[in-house]
Amino acid sequence: MLLAVASAAGCSSPGSTAGEDAPDQETPAVAGGTGEAPDCGTEPVTLDAYFETGFPLPSVLAEEFSTQYPNVTFDIREDQFAVLTQNAPRVLADDPPDLMRLPQVSNLAEDGLLKNLDPYAEAFGWDEWPASQLEQLRVDEEGRRGDGPLYAMGLNYSLTGVFYNKQLAEQIGMTEPPSTLAELDAALQAAKDAGLTPMAQFNGGATGGLAFPLQALMASYGDPAEINDWIFQSEGATIQTPENVEAAEHLQRWVDAGYFADDVNSLDYAMMMSRFIGGESVFIFNGDWESGNLDEQMPGNVGFFLMPPLEEGGTFGAMSAPLTFGIAEGAENADCAAFFLDWVATDEAARTIGVEVGGSHPMGPADAFMPEVDPDTVTAQTLEAGAALGEQDGAMDFIANATGSIYAKGWTPNLQKLVAGEQDPEGLLAAVQAEYETEAGN
């Protein structure tokens, strides 16, 4: 999600083509220059949408939106996240969708493929929301995230951690979440000793799912802020720190101990979820976007915890970022797409869907409506974990989002080699850093 952003793209107005506006021009108003917040009008509109396979939240929101605004329909196509990562530049350039799930924003902003959303932020009042909600979606003139124009919006805040099967956990003597990394290690070994699969984590095909536990381990050993510096391409940032080497070595020990499924390098995301729901795995590292699904599929039998620290009472971190969607610079229905994004964050029905289906906290004003949540659900646990994470300021973006292709060309192949015994922890980080520097132009 980073790289230099073209200054011309930074000031493109809704409805303009990339590069038409000079970088020193004033950001234009939306809705035909009136300064009023746009909407979808009353004439028939079809929003071209490109979503991620396996995640129902966007489609459920689209269905509710069409119910409230019958003149709007959605033409939805879906692909796996890895495919979105690889195809995003071509799709945004050749067949620009009105709404697209984005893997990484700064490269796309640099190429003038994403619409500058600052005019919409002003029109809808997004700039009055807590600033931290939108920081990861801003890219400055030097290509660093955290400041500058807004190039995307989130459907909600995602949060990653560890889901566990409560019944299987009881079988291994785990009656409450581990409070230290050593206690988690002991639980994994107990599951192995009991003949259970400790973790059926996906790592096959084009998606290196071991990046989830690796980054969680990085937060246990080091400072999440340093991980964000690397993801945001801060000057001098490197993934090759002593703490990250220790984290990668810890992951290697899990691999060597047989804590992952034997076929981890051929498991895809859907297979991981199927096995977990089927009671074939004690733990999985995943995100709160599955909370609603798990509450439905495994009611009362799923727990969730953030990766524990090295020492009890220590700080912790977790991947927590907006579920990122953008509007193509060439989108035909940009105003309606922006209206949809605002509706997602402010409409009570939409926010309820965000919690019940997405399992996480919606974007929007600090005092916005929140639905009641059953305290006995895993959704309640993930929301509580998000609040605790916010108190410690331990949120990180995903290490797969550091550059446009780092997931496909850096993390995934090297994590798969680590499992296959063809790569060691130091070599893993060195290879990823080399790819990062190539892509970032360092």
The DSSP annotation for 77-133 comes to EEE-HHHHHHHHHHHHHHS--SEEE-S-SHHHHHTT-B---HHHHHHHTGGGS-GGG
Measured distance CA(39)–CA(145) in Å, rounded:
29
Residue with tokens 């979606």: 137
What tokens were used for 74? 């959605």
Measured distance CA(219)–CA(397) in Å, rounded:
12
Give the list of residues 6+ apart from residue 12 with CB closer than 8 angstroms, or none.
18, 19, 20, 21, 112, 115, 116, 329
Measured distance CA(112)–CA(148) in Å, rounded:
15
What tokens were used for 232? 């945001």
Q: What is the pLDDT averaged over residues 399-428? A: 94
pLDDT of amino acid 35? 55
Measured distance CA(208)–CA(411) in Å, rounded:
6
| pLDDT bucket at 232, cuts 50 / 70 / 90 | confident
Q: What is the pLDDT averaged over residues 274-290? A: 96
The residue type at 128: E
Q: What is the pLDDT averaged over residues 206-211? A: 89
Q: Domains in the chain and their CATH numbers?
A: 9-157+321-378 (3.40.190.10), 159-320+380-440 (3.40.190.10)
pLDDT tens-digit readout, 250-272: 999 999 999 999 999 999 999 99
Measured distance CA(286)–CA(60) in Å, rounded:
21
pTM: 0.81
More confident of the two residues 394 and 304: 304
Measured distance CA(367)–CA(165) in Å, rounded:
34
| Percentage of the chain modeled with pLDDT above 90 | 68
Q: What is the pLDDT averaged over residues 128-148? A: 84
If we measure between CA atoms, which residue out of 390, 386, 334 comes closest to residue 161?
386
| pLDDT bucket at 33, cuts 50 / 70 / 90 | very low
Q: What is the pLDDT averaged over residues 175-192? A: 97
pLDDT of amino acid 87? 87
**How many other CB atoms are there within 10 angstroms of residue 268's CB atom?**
18
For the chain, first and last CA: distance in Å? 15
If we measure between CA atoms, which residue out of 433, 351, 398 comes closest to residue 65?
351
The answer to whether residues 172 and 166 touch, using CB atoms and an 8 Å cutoff, is no
pLDDT of amino acid 315? 86
pLDDT tens-digit readout, 339-392: 999 999 999 999 999 999 988 889 998 889 999 999 999 999 999 998 888 888
Provide DSSP, 179-196.
Answer: SSHHHHHHHHHHHHHTT-
pLDDT tens-digit readout, 84-128: 878 899 999 999 999 999 877 888 888 899 999 999 999 999 989
Residue 295 has pLDDT above 60, yes or no: yes
Residue 1 has pLDDT above 90, yes or no: no
pLDDT of amino acid 442? 61
Residue 441 has pLDDT above 60, yes or no: yes
Q: What is the mean pLDDT of the chain?
A: 88
pLDDT of amino acid 60? 96
pLDDT of amino acid 439? 87
| pLDDT bucket at 316, cuts 50 / 70 / 90 | confident
pLDDT of amino acid 124? 97
pLDDT of amino acid 32? 39
